[in-house]
Structure 1
Amino acid sequence: MNPYPHLLEPLDLGHTTLRNRVIMGSMHTGMEDRAKHLPELAAFFAERAKGGVALSVTGGYAPNWHGWLLPFGSTMTSAKFADKHRIVTDAVHEHDGKIVMQLLHAGRYGYHPFKRGASSKPSPITPMGKPKAMSTKEVDRTVTDFAKSAVLARRAGYDGVEIMGSEGYLINQMLTARTNDRTDRWGGSPENRMRFPIEIVERVREAVGEDFIVMYRMSLLDLVDNAQSWDETVHLAKQVDRAGVSIINTGIGWHEARVPTIVTSVPRAAFAWVTAKLRPEVSVPVVASNRINTPEVAEEIIASGQADLVSMARPLLSDPYFVNKAAEGRADEINTCIACNQACLDHTFQNKRASCLVNPRAGHETTLILSPTRTSKRIAVVGAGPAGLAAATELSGRGHTVELFEALSELGGQFRLAMAIPGKEEFTETIRYYSRQLEINGVKIHLGTRATIDELADFDEVVVATGVEPRVPSIPGVDHAKVVNYQDVIRHDAPVGQRVAVMGAGGIGFDVSEFLLHETDESLEHWMQRWGITDPEIERGGLTTKLKSPPKREVTLLQRKTTELGKGLGKTSGWVHRQTLKDSGVEMVKGVTYDRIDDDGLHITVATGKDTSESRVLDVDTIVLCTGQESVRDLIEPLETRGVTVHVIGGADVAAELDAKRAIKQATELAARL
C-alpha cells in the first residue's frame, strides 16, 4: 500500500512527467561559482535524485555580471561554461531525476559595487552602497539576458529553468513601489512594473520552445511595507501563466523582511494557506514551500488541495533519501530537518560551503564517505548527546560493534534540553532519528549507567562524548538559594519566580529567556498574530501590527561584554531570537560586572561610558546561571593510562558555547576514519 499516495503520484506537465510531487528547492551551496566544483555539485544532486527527488533546482545563476550575488559569482553567460554543466545534468538523469537551473538577478541585494537595481534605493541588509538604477535599455537587455541564459541552460542539459521572482531580488524590486520609482515603461503603474517579469517569461519561452520546464518563483507574501497587493499578485500570476510558465513556485518574504519564514520556530507548513489562495486562480501546477519537513505534512498539503507539489530544500540536505524512505514505509528513518540554519544558510551568508548540522555529508559527498569497514572493532561510546549519538550511529552503520553508555535515563543530552525551548520542538526529531538508527544497527544501549574504567578497558577503542557541565562563576553569594543553573531550570528541577535575572547572553541565555517567557507548541494563528502576519487581501504584503502577548515572567538578560547582546548568534536566526525577547519586554544589559548575590538580589555594576559606570541591584526572585560550560573529561586520563585508544569529541573536547554542528561533524568524521 502506498503510504503517501498524493505525494508520490506522478505529475504530467505535457512534454514531460515528474515521477512524484517533491521538488528540491533552490539554495546556494557554494559549489555553483567555480567550474572546478561542478563534479562535487554533480555528486550532491545525484544523491538527491538517487534518493527519489523528482525535480531539483540549482542555486541561483545570474543572467549577466551586474546580477551577481557575489563578486565573480555564479553566472550562465557562456557556452563553454554551459557545456561543463553536463557533468551535473548527466549525473541527475542517470538516476531518473530532473533538474532545472535557477536564473537569479540579485539587483540591489548584490554584494559588489557593480550591482544594478530597479532604482538607486539601497538595500537595508546589503553593504556596498546604492545600486545604480538601470536605464530603459539596460532593463530590456536584462530581459534578453534571461532568455539567453535559459538557452544556455538547455544546452547544458537542464530540463528547465526557474526564474527567481521572489525573496526581494531584482524581479521583486521591479514589481513594487517600495523599490521601483521609475517613470519609464518599466515603472509607475502596477501594469508597467509587471512588464519586466512577464516579458522575461515570454522571451524565455520563445527562446527555449515548448518542451522545456519554465518555473516561476513568485512572491505570494512580501512581508514588507509598500508591497504588492493581493489583486496585483493574482494578476501577475495569471499573466505569467498566460505567458507560458509550466509551474508557479511559492516564495515567502523578502530577505529584508523582519518576519521569520524558515527558522525552526516557524510552524510547519506555515504558509501553505497562501499557496492555496493562489491555486484556483491559475491553470498551471503550483508549489507550496517553507517549513515542510515530513512526508505527512507534504501529503496533507497536496491531499487537501492546497498545492500540486511541495518544495523542500533543507529537508533534502538532512536526508537525501527522504522520498525513497517515505515510499518504502520507512518514514521513521528519515533524518528530519530541524530548520536550525547553522550549517546551510548561515554558511551561505558567510560565503562557506553549505552543509547540514544533522547530516555533515551534505555538500561533502565526495570527501566524507562512510563505507563499510574492513575490520570490525568493538567500540564503546560514552555519552548520548549529539556527538555520542552521531558517533554510535555512524560507527555501527559502518559495521563496528558499538555499545553506548549514558549516565542519564534518556538519550539526547543537550538536544533534550534544546527541544524544551519554545520554537525548538523540532530537535525532538533528531533524537528520534538517532534512536531508530541505533535500534536498526543493533547498538547495545546502557541508560542510567556511568561506565567504569574496568568496563571500558575491555573495548578496542573508546569514544568519549561526555559533554559538558554548567560552569559556576566565582561570585560572592553564588551559592544563594536564589541561584540555579540552566540545566535544572529547563528540566524543571528548580523552581523559578516571577522576576528573573539570566546571567550570560550566549545562545543558552537566549534559549533560557525564551523558555521562561513563552509556552511551547503555540498555534499557527497565534504565531502569525505575534509576528504581524495577515491575509494579503487585507493588508499589502500580508503585514500588519503585531499582537503582543503578556510574557509569563519579567526577565533581565545580562552579559559581561560591551557588544550588543546576541551578536554571536546565527546570522540568519539570531535576529529572530533578539526580536522575540525585545517584543516580550526583556531588558538586555551589556557591560555588566557581577558584584555579589544576597537576599536583596543581584548586585551589578554596569558600564555607562568609556570610564563611567553605575551600580544597580536587581531585586529578583531567581538568578539563572548561563555562564558557560566545562568539559567532562574525567575518563580520559585513566583510560589512556590503561593503554586504551581514546577519541574525545563534542563538548568533552571543546566546552565553548554549545555547538552541535561541530559535535556531529566531528563524530561523523571520526566514524569515517575508524
Structure 2
Amino acid sequence: MTNYPHLLAPLDLGFTTLKNRVLMGSMHTGLEETRDWNRVAEFYAERARGDVALMVTGGIGPNLEGSVLPGAAMMTTEEDVKNHSVVTQRVHEAGGKIAMQILHAGRYAYGPKCVAPSPVKSPISPFPPTELDEEGIEKQIGDIVNAARLARKAGYDGVEIMGSEGYFLNQFIVTHTNKRTDRWGGSYENRIRLPIEVVRRVREAVGTDFIIIYRLSMIDLVPNGSTFDEVVQLAKEIEKAGATIINTGIGWHEARVPTIATSVPRRAFAWVTQKLMGHVSIPVITSNRINTPEVGEAVIAEGCADMVSMARPMLADPHFVKKAIAGKSAQIAPCIACNQACLDHTFSGKLTSCLVNPRACHETELLIEPAATTKSIAIVGAGPAGLSTAMTCAERGHRVTVFDKAAEIGGQLNMAKQIPGKEEFWGFVDWYRTMIEVHDIDLRLNTDVTADDLDGFDEVIIATGVIPRDPEIPGQDGDNVVDYIDVLRGKVPVGKRVAVIGAGGIGFDVSEYLVHQGESPTENLPEWMAEWGVADPAQHRGGLAPDGPKPEAPARQVTLLQRKAEKHGKRLGKTTGWIHRASLKMKDVNFVGGVNYERIDAAGLHVSFGEARENPTLIEADTIVLCAGQLPLRSLADDLEARGITPHVIGGADVAAELDAKRAIDQGTRLAAVI
C-alpha cells in the first residue's frame, strides 16, 4: 500500500496511460540552446529514470518572430526533428514520456520582430510588437500546427500549447492586450477564437493518439484579466477542440504578484484549479509551489486536480517520484523556491541549474562516480558548503568526518529560516540531517577544531563560513547597537524604531524579520492573498482585489540604509528582488541611500550624504542593527598553511560576497566530485 495512493495512481488517457499523476512542468533551462543534444537528452532521461509520469520541455518556438529570445530553440525544420529525436529516444529508453511545449511569446518575445494582437508594448520588453493582420494570424496558426506535426515526427508523446502566463495566445484573450475590432477581437467569443482554432488544427494534424496539453491561464493577476466564467467557457471550448489535458497557468509575467517564489505559500493556487473541476471531463493539472509528495497527495485527494505539475522540484531531485514510491520522501532534495539558479539564470541568459542540486542541467559534465581510492576526509563547517561536500564525498565512498563548533547543523541557513517567507529553509536543514544519517557521516558538533585535531586525515576541507564585517562607526559599542546574528537568533531585544545598516540580502532579510509580527503570511494563505491583493476571479476580473494589497501593519518603524547611491536591492535576485522591495515598501520601510555613517549615540544614527558629507541627518532609532557585510573566516586555514598543509577552502571562508549558498554548494559539490 503506497503512502500516496492518489499521487501515484495511474491516469488513463484512453490511447495511453500515465504511470502516476506527476507532471514535470515546463522550464526554460537554456539546454536546447546549447545545441548539445546529448546533454539535453541526458537531462530529461535522468528525470524519466526518476519515474515522473510525463515531462514537458522548455518552450520551443514555432517560428522566429514567436521565439522568446534571438537564437532560442525552434521546431521548424527536418534538422530540428533529427536533433529532438535524440532526446525522445533517450527518454523512451529510460521508460518515460515527454511532450514538447510550443511557446509563441507574442509581445514578450525579446526582439524587434515580435508580433501581437495589438501594438501594446510589454512592460518587460523594450520592443513594441507589430500588430498582426489576417494573413499574419494565419501564418502563426500554421507555424504552431507545423511545430506540433514535427514534434510528433521527432518522437514526442505530445505537445503542450502555451496559452497562459501572458504569452501570445493569452494576449488575444484579454482586453488588456487585445484592442482589435475584427473577428479576432471585441467580444469574448472573438478573443478566444485563436486558441480554440490552434487546438482544433493541431488535433487535426497529429491525429487522435497524441497528447495535447493546453496551458490555460486560470487567474491572470493583471488589470482587465479574464473572469472565472470566461475561464470556464474557454476550458470547455478547448476540450471540444481536442485537448487531452488542461494545465494550469498562474499570472502573467508582468503581474505584480509573486507566484512561485519561496514566500508564496505552498499550493497557493490549487483552489483556483479546483474551481474548474467538474466543468470539463478531461484531466486537469494544477501547479505552483507544490514541492513535496505530501502536498501533491493532498491536492489530488481533496479534488483540486487530477494531476500535479512540479517543475523546479525536478531540478532539485530528478528522482523525486522514485523516492516517493520507495517510501523515502525524507531523502528528496527539497526545492526551496529560491529562484537563484533557475529563474534568475534564465532571465540573465545563463544556463539553468539548481542551488540545492548543482548537477541539474550539468548531468554530462558534473559526474558523481565512485572514488578510485577511498580517503579519510575532514570537513570543518556544517553549513551548506560543508554539508554538500560531505554528502558527495560519502556518496563516492570516502570516509567523512564533519566538525562544527555550533550545536546544530545548517550554519547560516539557521538564520535564513527565521525570516518570514523563508520557511522552506527548515526543510532544507532537515534534509541535510537525513542525508548525514543515510551516508553514515561522522558528525561532531560542539567541537572547536584546531589544526592539531586534523592530523591524520588524507584531505582537509575548510568550510567555516563568514564573520560580520566591522563597519567601524563611532559609537557602535553602545547598548543600542546589535549584530544581525543576535537579532535573528532572538538573543537581543529590538526597539520599535530601528535603523538597519546595510541593504544587501541580509539587510533586507533582517528588515523583513523586524516588520512582521505573528504568523508569517507564507503560512497563512488568506493573509498572504490579502497582502498581495489576490482575489477570487469569480468575483473580481483577473483575480485582483479592487482595493489592492492590504498588508498587516508593520511591527516596527524600520529605516534601511546603504552607502551606495543606487536603488535598494539592486543586486538581489533577478526575479525576486522586486518582491523583497515591494514587500518592505508595503510595510512602510524607509529606504535611504548614498549615506556616510558618522556616529551613533543614544538618539540614534547620525548620517551625512555624498562625498562632501553634506546634509547631516539624525535617523532616530531605539536600535541600530549592523548588517554591513561579511569577511571570510579562514583563521584555521591560515594555521594549516603555516604548518605546510594546504587545505581546500570553500564557501564563505573562500569568498564572502554576500551569503551565497548557490556558489558554496556548487563549489563544494564540484570539489567532492574530483577528490
If the length of structure 1 is used for normalisation, what is the TM-score? Answer: 0.98
Question: Of residues 230, 236, 253 in structure 1, which corresponds to 2:228?
Answer: 230
Structure 1 residue ranges, 4+ long, deviating more than 4 angstroms after superposition? none
In 2: Cα distance, 1:254 partner to 1:637 partner = 51
Report the counterpart of residue 501 of structure 1 in structure 2: 499
In 1: Cα distance, 2:79 partner to 2:124 partner = 34
Calculate percent identity across the aligned residue pairs: 57
Question: Of residues 433, 437, 453 in structure 2, which corresponds to 1:455?
Answer: 453
Whether the 8 Å contact between 1:83 and 1:155 is mirrored in structure 2 is: no
In 1: Cα distance, 2:109 partner to 2:565 partner = 31
- The 3-state SS of whatever aligns with 1:569 is coil
Deviation, structure 1 residue 409: 0.4
Whether the 8 Å contact between 1:506 and 1:566 is mirrored in structure 2 is: yes
Report the counterpart of residue 125 of structure 1 in structure 2: 124
- The 3-state SS of whatever aligns with 2:276 is helix
Deviation, structure 1 residue 339: 0.0
- Within a 5 Å distance, the mapping from 1:165-244 to structure 2 comes to 165-244=163-242
Question: Of residues 565, 570, 575 in structure 1, which corresponds to 2:573?
Answer: 570
Whether the 8 Å contact between 1:136 and 1:184 is mirrored in structure 2 is: no
In 2: Cα distance, 1:615 partner to 1:536 partner = 50
Deviation, structure 1 residue 644: 3.0
In 2: Cα distance, 1:95 partner to 1:192 partner = 44
Deviation, structure 1 residue 33: 2.4
Would you say 1:537 and 2:538 are equivalent positions? yes
Report the counterpart of residue 23 of structure 2 in structure 1: 23
Deviations, residues 59-118 of structure 1 (Å, cap 9, x unaligned): 011111110110121111112211221110011111211000000111111111111111
The runs of 5 or more residues in structure 2 that have no matched partner are none
Whether the 8 Å contact between 1:269 and 1:289 is mirrored in structure 2 is: yes
- The 3-state SS of whatever aligns with 1:281 is coil
- The 3-state SS of whatever aligns with 2:192 is helix
Deviation, structure 1 residue 612: 8.4
Deviation, structure 1 residue 640: 2.4
Deviation, structure 1 residue 12: 0.5
- The 3-state SS of whatever aligns with 1:89 is helix
- 1:28 partner letter: H
Whether the 8 Å contact between 2:596 and 2:613 is mirrored in structure 1 is: no
- Within a 5 Å distance, the mapping from 1:66-145 to structure 2 comes to 66-127=65-126, 129-145=127-143
Whether the 8 Å contact between 2:603 and 2:622 is mirrored in structure 1 is: no
Please provide the CA RMSD for this pair: 1.1
Whether the 8 Å contact between 2:300 and 2:307 is mirrored in structure 1 is: yes
In 2: Cα distance, 1:219 partner to 1:159 partner = 23
Report the counterpart of residue 49 of structure 1 in structure 2: 48
Deviations, residues 12-36 of structure 1 (Å, cap 9, x unaligned): 10110100000000011101225x3
Question: Of residues 353, 358, 361 in structure 2, which corresponds to 1:360?
Answer: 358
Report the counterpart of residue 473 of structure 2 in structure 1: 475
- The 3-state SS of whatever aligns with 2:569 is coil
Number of residue equivalences = 670
Whether the 8 Å contact between 1:457 and 1:642 is mirrored in structure 2 is: no
Report the counterpart of residue 648 of structure 1 in structure 2: 649
- 1:113 partner letter: P
- Within a 5 Å distance, the mapping from 1:317-396 to structure 2 comes to 317-396=315-394
More off after superposition, 332-341 vs 136-145: 136-145
1:452–1:612 Cα change, 3 Å: closer
More off after superposition, 156-165 vs 68-77: 68-77
In 2: Cα distance, 1:305 partner to 1:232 partner = 21
- The 3-state SS of whatever aligns with 1:282 is coil
In 2: Cα distance, 1:226 partner to 1:586 partner = 30
- 1:538 partner letter: Q
- The 3-state SS of whatever aligns with 2:443 is strand
- The 3-state SS of whatever aligns with 1:97 is coil
In 2: Cα distance, 1:372 partner to 1:118 partner = 56
- 2:514 partner letter: L
Deviation, structure 1 residue 147: 0.8
Deviations, residues 512-535 of structure 1 (Å, cap 9, x unaligned): 000001145431110001000010
- 1:475 partner letter: I
In 2: Cα distance, 1:612 partner to 1:659 partner = 32
Deviation, structure 1 residue 611: 7.1
Deviation, structure 1 residue 600: 1.7
Question: Of residues 258, 278, 281 in structure 1, which corresponds to 2:279?
Answer: 281
Whether the 8 Å contact between 2:7 and 2:300 is mirrored in structure 1 is: yes
More off after superposition, 449-458 vs 622-631: 449-458
More off after superposition, 80-89 vs 100-109: 80-89
The runs of 5 or more residues in structure 1 that have no matched partner are none
Deviation, structure 1 residue 638: 2.0
- The 3-state SS of whatever aligns with 1:505 is coil
Deviations, residues 38-65 of structure 1 (Å, cap 9, x unaligned): 1111000000000011100000111111
In 2: Cα distance, 1:330 partner to 1:601 partner = 53
Whether the 8 Å contact between 1:33 and 1:75 is mirrored in structure 2 is: no
- The 3-state SS of whatever aligns with 1:67 is coil
Deviation, structure 1 residue 188: 1.1
Whether the 8 Å contact between 1:560 and 1:590 is mirrored in structure 2 is: yes
- 1:667 partner letter: G
If the length of structure 2 is used for normalisation, what is the TM-score? Answer: 0.98
Report the counterpart of residue 404 of structure 1 in structure 2: 402
Whether the 8 Å contact between 2:63 and 2:75 is mirrored in structure 1 is: yes
In 2: Cα distance, 1:440 partner to 1:451 partner = 25
Deviations, residues 588-621 of structure 1 (Å, cap 9, x unaligned): 00111100001121000134xx978421101111
In 2: Cα distance, 1:564 partner to 1:384 partner = 34
In 2: Cα distance, 1:157 partner to 1:428 partner = 42
Would you say 1:10 and 2:10 are equivalent positions? yes
- 2:457 partner letter: F
Deviation, structure 1 residue 143: 1.0
Report the counterpart of residue 590 of structure 2 in structure 1: 587
Deviations, residues 324-374 of structure 1 (Å, cap 9, x unaligned): 000000001000100000000000001110000000000000000111111
- The 3-state SS of whatever aligns with 1:57 is strand
- 1:243 partner letter: A
Deviations, residues 478-508 of structure 1 (Å, cap 9, x unaligned): 1111111111100011111110000000000
Whether the 8 Å contact between 1:457 and 1:644 is mirrored in structure 2 is: no
Report the counterpart of residue 621 of structure 1 in structure 2: 622
Deviations, residues 167-218 of structure 1 (Å, cap 9, x unaligned): 0011111111100011221111111010000000000000000000000000
